[in-house]
Structure 1
Amino acid sequence: MTFQPRLDARLEMVLSLIRAEVHADIGTDHAGLPIRLVQTGRVRRCIGVELNAAPLELAHRQVARAGLGGQIELRQGDGLAPLGPGEVDSVSMTGLGAGTIAGVLERGRQGGQLPGRAVVQCNDSPLALRSWAREAGYWLEAETLVDGYWPYPVLAFTRAAGPDPAYDDLPLDAALRFGPQLLREHHPLLRRVLADAYGRYAPAAAPGRSAQRELDAVLEALAYLGWTVADLSSAEQ
């Protein structure tokens, strides 16, 4: 039987948003995502980039076990630096903080290695990623939340000219923090995200404090959704 690595729900969602001739998975760890991308026919070829030697060695063994050495190439290096300009059609990065991912994408953009599409999964608020995309000329193509230890954000960005229409007719601070598409579709996990944000910022909010701006964004999101603070008490913990 062909070796098929098991992906958790967040990586399955990332996989579902990728389709390319040549894709690069940055911070590939044990190469589970590249293997499944090739096995499912979502990519023809994949480059896995990993900074650390130990997981890279395991990735080599897993790729060999799956018999995909001809379609998956593994490289050691930092971020997108091991890629050549125009070498890949899309990139993915998962399991890191939004600020860290945004920094890697920006360095790749400055170096010419960042392609026109990126799929990312961060372990905290995607604010830094959405802000980076708006400034770097990438539109928000898709976003969702995946249930886990907390609601994991998964986002896809595509390079395009002009202002991103995803934010049209929405309160910008709320949309940047909680997601324009998530707000529009009333995503069911948003209640948990907003309840957590309200619980963190409401006790510290006061005029002039950064917590007040964060709380205002929560209240803007609630107003858009037609929810009240009392509705947050029903959020799953």
Structure 2
Amino acid sequence: MPTPTLDARLEAVLEMIRTDVHADIGSDHARLPVRLIREGRAERCVAVELNPGPLEQARRSVARSRLEAQIEVREGDGFGPILPGELGSASLCGMGAYTIRGILERAGERLPPALVLQPNDSALLIRLWARATGYHVRAERLIAGYWSYPVLRLERAEGADLAYEGMPLDAALKYGPLLLRLGGGVICHQIEADIARLQKVAAPGRESWHELETARTALDVLDHGIK
């Protein structure tokens, strides 16, 4: 079987994974696990899928790739089919941040030490969850597409997350501390688009006013850096 192709957001996810055992939660066609094994980024993968159609597609994809010895397809919801301590890392991609956070909150002791997450909307809820549960931001990318897709690698660690050191917290939580440090056209375009949208509706005392101030602060970080 030819090596499966991935879109830009999943290629970014792929590049953030290197481990012994990896689980792709909500794996759909299991393209990501197949690439991980073929590129030597994982020794073994678990593809977890709840819905019958994608579950069968994942099984067929693994069988066509002749990787049944290294990729196990399991039926289940979130981390339910995973054993505590089984994984080095896990990925959750193509879902809303609220859905991803819910899956992480229900995982309990099944959570691995590293997570690679690709929400289809703002990663604010995920960054808040990470700060509250002892996961630090180790890498971030923002991928241009139908809209901008954030991709984050989180790792369990002690103490304060140094990614946020010296950053305006609200702006860093909304737009990503490492993304604001790195800059670039994609993050700049997203912030400028938010400012243009919010200027039409924001008024003092409303949540939209706070969002507008957060976006302006983020743009100032991009323009002038961290002092």
Task: Please indicate the TM-score interval, normalised by the length of the shorter structure.
Answer: over 0.9
CA drift at 1:146: 1.2
Deviations, residues 42-82 of structure 1 (Å, cap 9, x unaligned) = 00000000010111101111100000001000111111111
Moved over 4 A (4+): none
Unaligned runs of 5+ in 2: none
- Structure 1 window deviating more from structure 2 (23-32 vs 95-104): it is 95-104
Deviations, residues 74-126 of structure 1 (Å, cap 9, x unaligned) = 11111111101001110001001112111111211x2x100110001111111
Find the counterpart in structure 2 of residue 234 from structure 1. none
State how far apart, in whole Å, the 2-side matches of 1:195 and 1:51 are.
Answer: 38
Q: Is contact 2:188-2:222 (8 Å) kept?
A: no
Find the counterpart in structure 1 of residue 141 from structure 2. 144
Find the counterpart in structure 1 of residue 188 from structure 2. 191
Find the counterpart in structure 1 of residue 116 from structure 2. 119
CA drift at 1:226: 2.1
Q: Is contact 2:135-2:157 (8 Å) kept?
A: yes
State how far apart, in whole Å, the 2-side matches of 1:106 and 1:187 are.
Answer: 32
Q: Could you say what secondary structure the match of 1:222 adopts?
A: helix
Identity %: 51
Computed over aligned residues only, the root mean square deviation of the Cα atoms, in angstroms, reads 1.1
State how far apart, in whole Å, the 2-side matches of 1:92 and 1:217 are.
Answer: 29
CA drift at 1:204: 1.8
TM-score (norm: length of structure 2): 0.96
Match of 2:126 among 120, 126, 129: 129
1:49 correspondence with 2:59: no
Find the counterpart in structure 2 of residue 217 from structure 1. 214
Q: Is contact 1:138-1:158 (8 Å) kept?
A: yes
Deviations, residues 4-26 of structure 1 (Å, cap 9, x unaligned) = 11111111110010001000000
State how far apart, in whole Å, the 2-side matches of 1:125 and 1:39 are.
Answer: 31
Q: Is contact 1:23-1:88 (8 Å) kept?
A: yes
Q: Could you say what secondary structure the match of 2:185 adopts?
A: coil
Q: Is contact 1:170-1:180 (8 Å) kept?
A: yes
Find the counterpart in structure 1 of residue 89 from structure 2. 90
Q: Could you say what secondary structure the match of 1:204 adopts?
A: coil
State how far apart, in whole Å, the 1-side matches of 2:58 and 2:47 are.
Answer: 9
Q: Is contact 1:3-1:65 (8 Å) kept?
A: no
CA drift at 1:222: 1.5
State how far apart, in whole Å, the 1-side matches of 2:69 and 2:14 are.
Answer: 20
State how far apart, in whole Å, the 2-side matches of 1:3 and 1:69 are.
Answer: 16
Q: Could you say what secondary structure the match of 1:48 adopts?
A: strand
1:23 correspondence with 2:13: no
Give the number of equivalent residue pairs: 224
State the AA in 1 paired with 2:223: G
State the AA in 2 paired with 1:74: V
State how far apart, in whole Å, the 1-side matches of 2:184 and 2:53 are.
Answer: 38
State the AA in 2 paired with 1:34: P
Deviations, residues 125-145 of structure 1 (Å, cap 9, x unaligned) = 110111110001000000011
Give matches, 1:166-205, under 5 Å.
Answer: 166-205=163-202
Find the counterpart in structure 2 of residue 10 from structure 1. 9
Q: Could you say what secondary structure the match of 2:151 adopts?
A: strand
Deviations, residues 150-172 of structure 1 (Å, cap 9, x unaligned) = 22111000000111110111111
Unaligned runs of 5+ in 1: 228-237
CA drift at 1:199: 2.8
1:79 correspondence with 2:78: yes
State how far apart, in whole Å, the 1-side matches of 2:184 and 2:79 are.
Answer: 32
Find the counterpart in structure 2 of residue 235 from structure 1. none
- Structure 1 window deviating more from structure 2 (116-125 vs 184-193): it is 184-193
State the AA in 2 paired with 1:183: L
